[in-house]
Structure 1
Amino acid sequence: MENKYVIFDTHAHYDDEAFDEDRETILKQIKDNGVIGILNCASSYKSIEKTNKLTIENDFIYGALGIHPENANEFNSNVEIEIIDLIEKNKKIIAIGEIGLDYYWDENPSKDIQKQVFREQMRLAEKLKLPVIIHDREAHGDTLEIIKEFPNVNGIVHCFSGSVEFAMECIKLGYYIGITGVVTFKNAKKIIEVVKHVPLEKLLVETDCPYMAPAPNRGKRNKSDYIAYIIEQIALIKELEPKEVNLAVNDNFKRLIQNNI
């Protein structure tokens, strides 16, 4: 698909092994197809260095460093020191993430460990005055409770999966709502309601690639230029011109990260 939009993907994982065989080719391809920026979000300890390296090697990639709740057991004071050190050396690391809670998988670390690590990384974001990228899966109540504890921190609730009411609570606390390709799925009633009710100036678009490719590419490996489908779906839901949505979500991200880019 030839792209007519100016795309900033606010959540991607190009460090993922799904891109190991053709990463450079894909990055060149999406750049040629209208992708002006990517926020690559670390998730595991291993991905912290890989994300940092991607930002150094690619002018249009920025980074978020943190430990995902599925890997909460990997977070400790030494990892925190490493993250601080990388952020001090690299101005392209502009957020702490992906952090949060994931109660979906039974094999994940315990809820107590996840909450402790989430709080520790929220403290780190507060200390460094950086926004956070929050992962929240089937943990809306506890996520809200913890973000309320840190009124000086804001960021993105990525791959939003909660209710309209939860979205409005997050917005009140200074957060943006990350919309993925899920909004294009036939059974996506909940997120469509969220998009309808959340003001355009609080929405962001993201792929979470290589996961969650939008229709008509559902089930395939996702990539940042597919955000065009998300923009068009949001425009349809909100009865706006796609270009207006495109420019607005880019401005929203710039506003969030303020002086970091």
Structure 2
Amino acid sequence: MVAEYRETGRPAPAVFDTHAHVSARAFDKDRHEVLGRARDLGIVFLEVGFNEDSSRKALALAEEAGGFCAVGIHPHDAMADESLEARWQYIETLALQSPRVKAIGEIGLDYYRELSPKKAQADAFVMGLDLARRHRLPAIIHQRQCSWDVVSILEKHGCDIPLVFHCFSEGIDYARKCLDLGGYIGLGGPLTYPRNGYLRDMLKFLPPDRLLVETDCPWLPPQSKRGKRNEPAYIMEVIQAIAGVLGRPPAEIMKLTFDNGVRVFAIGEGEW
């Protein structure tokens, strides 16, 4: 995206939102304006797919905007009429289609709503991990009310690729296990919610080089935007919250998390 910033005179990329869904229908009416607000603030983002259609749209948006994306099958979408093998073959085709695909995800388990049977979720998760390993790509992990089952699958099927634990909502003990697996921790809007003091305590425990920031937009807006649609521009409130908890300048948190994101997703300097 650097060329685009240089041509327009806008700020160079300075903040990396590592998990966004700007290709979602919630942005159909004003996607151009949302992208513009992010660019004006120097925010870049990784567009993340959650099934075949959204993964295709994620790649299309990455190509159009000069950004990057992840492709995968979310646990909610693990159950479908078509076989999982065929669906993952399609995702693999997308992953091989462009160097702008930087990760496989989001994949994982979700027992909160259990929109897909647990076995289908586990099967889809393992297939996604296998795909990520085959192509040496990071895996973006979704986990909700299933954390230790996620760990069990990761331990059984290998953890020799970078792991990003997206929208992290657990405490220090689980964070410690994720770090032992070589994982990175993605924090977003929930960190800013008054009731989530345990997340702020966990943040103090994290090694700085394992911290990522994200919006998960259009969902989970930060505290001042509760009840509204989230978007990449709102990540600045997450940056401010992290800076406050750690007692560090916001600019330092911006650079730290930007560098961490570039490293985990293996983005070369010439690719921006």
Is the pair's TM-score, using the shorter chain for normalization, greater than 0.5?
yes
Distance 1:98 1:253, change over 3 A: same
Distance 1:38 1:8, change over 3 A: same
SS at match of 1:160: coil
Question: Which string of whole-angstrom CA distances, capped at 9 and with x for unpartnered residues, describes residues 76-128 of structure 1?
Answer: 2222222222222210000000100000004x111111111101110110111
Say whether residues 1:132 and 2:145 are aligned partners. no
The answer for the alignment partner of 1:101 in structure 2 is: 109
The answer for the alignment partner of 1:141 in structure 2 is: 148
Match of 1:9, as an amino acid? D
Measured on the aligned residues, the alpha-carbon RMSD in Å equals 1.7
Question: Which string of whole-angstrom CA distances, capped at 9 and with x for unpartnered residues, describes residues 187-230 of structure 1?
Answer: 11121111111112111000000011112111211111211111
Say whether residues 1:81 and 2:97 are aligned partners. no
Q: Distance in 2 between matches of 1:96 and 1:4?
A: 27
The answer for the alignment partner of 2:122 in structure 1 is: 115
Q: CA deviation at 1:154?
A: 2.0
Distance 1:225 1:4, change over 3 A: farther
SS at match of 1:97: strand
Q: CA deviation at 1:259?
A: 4.9
Which of 167, 170, 184 is residue 159 of structure 1 equivalent to? 167
Percent pairwise identity: 35
The answer for the alignment partner of 2:260 in structure 1 is: 252
Contact 1:63–1:95 (8 Å) recurs in 2: yes
Say whether residues 1:8 and 2:16 are aligned partners. yes
Q: CA deviation at 1:5?
A: 8.6
Aligned length: 256
Say whether residues 1:62 and 2:68 are aligned partners. yes
Give structure 1 stretches of 5+ with no counterpart. none
Q: Distance in 2 between matches of 1:142 and 1:223?
A: 31
Which of 37, 44, 52 is residue 51 of structure 2 equivalent to? 44
Q: Distance in 1 between matches of 2:254 and 2:167?
A: 18
